[in-house]
Structure 1
């Protein structure tokens, strides 16, 4: 299979003809190629987006809503086909991908379709005698976007939907290891959006750097690592381009002595191992109070040992392959170093089979300054550390550079309220971990970035605010 870029409504190869291999992580075998785009391809995509923006920006909210709704309907109708494309790039379980990603993606498109018609601003009025002021919400302009490999098709929707709803045109680069579903959706989008409104350019880090440093975009958005976010913010600063950064996470999961142990173990295992832990909000860093710590470690270890990973078509697996060989090596090395200082109670190594599979792993007895506590693993690995009391739990929870997501497990509503206020993260779940809804914002603090995805807050990031003042002379 040979993918091509989608630029100005047309599928094209890279200008140089260069390609990169696409690997099925469930087998480790190459199954296709994608364009390895350069600066000439990025220039061409931005030129198409800029031309399209000239007319798309004047489309009505109702017209944009209808296009997004039709796009959502198309994805819903062809969900099984799109899932098969995604699974081959990611190694995810087919049934879970279909049930847990296609539905939310369709819902998110429909949410932003509705949001296009309900943007708000301050009421028009006479804030200065003899003058009437009003606020215009306008699309920010052409947008450059870089999506990650952990949720390729869903993150593409998170980026495309609010931008298109606002009236922006887009140049989107998927990860070089997972481009297929994004190209599939870009081809489909041509039926519903004018040529040049949705452009996809495949490539590697150099392609992404060219996309971000380009003078055309008014905003650049990335979902990725902290290092990638810093590079994007630095490059964007050269043109005073707005950056929108959704970066890594190291979610603290605080389990109090009065928590429902069974519910906590089940919820945390699901939140930590789903998608092979390749989720910036994964329940990866448990902080247990002393009265429940030992029992929790034993129960989580048993639950992890019973968790299965394997082939996409195996209906009994919770998660599939690690996305790529380099990431599998990184996880393996991080866990091996952790095992020199702490106890690996289960798992701790790759599976002896084709593909990139890592066993569900629990590491207990970690310390706050351990590498595996401070750095994002992005794999099916959950650490557990002991907190002395509530105050200590807050200190440990906030004691990393990240601030994306967290959860608190307790039967005490006062404790839950205090912890929700004191944890320094963009989301605090109470007695659950990882559910998301289109109406609520997703985004972090500190090194987890800034800007919001989903919700009206995420929508507003793709708009600019203009004050219009009309002098009419009437003073009452």
Structure 2
């Protein structure tokens, strides 16, 4: 493994960039007012990269007030004006791409090649998509449905959105929350994870530089218990969008329901990877390793349960293990690094605990080790021969761990794929179009890939079934979360007493 920090280019000057504070309210950086500080730590080295004061209730109130004050002007802007601002934002993000990539790698431990080639370009593309989509917020065509009236539908912004983003993809998740909300004419207060606020703050700053009015995009960086719960329950917040664990999602829903808010939840996942016996073995093995290890496995859509039809099972296990062993752990900023650390030592130890417990009932084929060094690293791990009802198969691990199980019939493979509470993503591997098409119909997940696993595009929706939540990120479908539908009806008769008035005024 590369020696973290040795002969590596400068990471990102977080202390310097956020000297004014880690809150962004009404177009400027401010200090938090909770009276408590928090340290952002580089998970590759264990070194502190930023110490900041957490947001308290007063900061959330100030951010919501700024968003509420900005709402009438932003909601009243034309779709073209909002579109122009988002096009400018995409240009600003492109100009600052390297800063964003380095900041994301620093706070998350992602290899720089991942942030440069996936996180940042994906966010820029998402911004460009919503710049165009802002001009296409349309309702149903006008028509005379009753015969005496003309009806049409208005699609209107909801108001102030209060959103909470996770630590695994801080930049992309901030964009997924902010972009559809403001493209539709809402204003937003976003709470990023306190571990990873850097790129959310940079994104809000870029919004201001692009000409988006002060108060339209605000960031409060605090704990979920204090800042997050207050934001979700705030009476001036009309909607909340949350991405994170199913357990926390239930708490968010509980708070939001008490204030009759609209909610959008993108929660946990335990994605199945179903390999039928006619699949391309080499393609499936490569896809499994890439799909399981991207972002060090800290991805709700990561391939976590590989079900392989028995004729290919042993060969798949052997080839996948060999590919995992070729993956290079190292410093995120070093050339040649394939896999970085987990987000923290606590998360690494949590992952290691799952694997250690699995040794009692399954076979650890490769990995299952914490390498020497300071960082929160864990070796890519392949586990075989676990039971379907075991913890390693059923629980979301959120680390570089793939478990492989055999199946016999196609019916069994699809049934096993559906046998968890989750339903965020899945993939099916087959050269038979009918077999693959059946899998896409019958696997209960918000996204089913065929002969691939992980790719996402701005034009298509992202969201889950079952305990993976409801509602959609990305695509024009996301506007369903961030807009109100209003029916407007005009009388066409100019008659003072309508026919239906006889129900009140007596017989005709």
Q: Shared fold (TM-score greater than 0.5)?
A: yes
Give me the CA root mean square deviation. 1.2
Counterpart in the other structure of 1:130: 148
Moved more, 94-103 or 357-366: 94-103
Q: Does 1:20 find its partner at 2:54?
A: no
Contact 1:130/1:474, CA 8 A, preserved across alignment = no
TM-score, length-scaled by structure 1: 0.98
Whole-angstrom CA distance in 2 between matches of 1:426 and 1:35: 38
Counterpart in the other structure of 2:457: 437
Residue 129 of structure 1: CA displacement? Answer: 2.2
Which consecutive aligned stretches of 4+ in structure 1 deviate over 4 angstroms post-superposition?
A: none
Whole-angstrom CA distance in 2 between matches of 1:351 and 1:295: 27
Contact 1:53/1:169, CA 8 A, preserved across alignment = yes
- Of 330, 353, 377, the residue aligned with 1:357 is 377
Whole-angstrom CA distance in 2 between matches of 1:216 and 1:324: 35
Whole-angstrom CA distance in 1 between matches of 2:52 and 2:196: 10
Whole-angstrom CA distance in 2 between matches of 1:474 and 1:338: 76
Q: Does 1:249 find its partner at 2:232?
A: no
Contact 1:112/1:459, CA 8 A, preserved across alignment = no
Say which SS state the counterpart of residue 318 (structure 1) adopts: coil
Q: Does 1:203 find its partner at 2:222?
A: yes
The C-alpha deviation readout for 1:292-311, integer Å capped at 9, x for no partner, is 00110011011111111210
Say which SS state the counterpart of residue 373 (structure 2) adopts: coil
Whole-angstrom CA distance in 1 between matches of 2:73 and 2:95: 29
Counterpart in the other structure of 2:471: 451
- The runs of 5 or more residues in structure 2 that have no matched partner are 1-14, 496-508
Counterpart in the other structure of 1:183: 201
Whole-angstrom CA distance in 2 between matches of 1:406 and 1:195: 40
Residue 187 of structure 1: CA displacement? Answer: 1.6
Whole-angstrom CA distance in 1 between matches of 2:482 and 2:171: 20
Whole-angstrom CA distance in 2 between matches of 1:318 and 1:247: 27
Whole-angstrom CA distance in 1 between matches of 2:433 and 2:409: 17
Whole-angstrom CA distance in 2 between matches of 1:151 and 1:447: 20
Contact 2:22/2:197, CA 8 A, preserved across alignment = no
Say which SS state the counterpart of residue 442 (structure 1) adopts: coil
Counterpart in the other structure of 2:418: 398
TM-score, length-scaled by structure 2: 0.92
Whole-angstrom CA distance in 1 between matches of 2:206 and 2:51: 20
Residue 467 of structure 1: CA displacement? Answer: 0.5
Whole-angstrom CA distance in 1 between matches of 2:287 and 2:159: 41
Counterpart in the other structure of 2:69: 51
Whole-angstrom CA distance in 1 between matches of 2:327 and 2:214: 46
Counterpart in the other structure of 1:299: 319
Say which SS state the counterpart of residue 41 (structure 2) adopts: strand
Q: Does 1:64 find its partner at 2:64?
A: no
The residue correspondences of 1:43-122 to structure 2 (distance < 5 A) are 43-122=61-140
The C-alpha deviation readout for 1:260-280, integer Å capped at 9, x for no partner, is 011111111111111101100
Residue 474 of structure 1: CA displacement? Answer: 7.0
Residue 313 of structure 1: CA displacement? Answer: 2.1
Say which SS state the counterpart of residue 303 (structure 2) adopts: coil
Counterpart in the other structure of 2:498: none
Whole-angstrom CA distance in 2 between matches of 1:368 and 1:15: 48
Whole-angstrom CA distance in 2 between matches of 1:406 and 1:87: 27
Counterpart in the other structure of 2:296: 276
- Of 331, 340, 364, the residue aligned with 1:311 is 331
Number of residue pairs matched by the alignment: 475
Structure of greater Rg: 2
When residues 181 and 30 of structure 1 are mapped into structure 2, their CA distance, relative to the original with a 3 A threshold, is: same
Contact 2:269/2:422, CA 8 A, preserved across alignment = yes
Whole-angstrom CA distance in 1 between matches of 2:483 and 2:409: 45
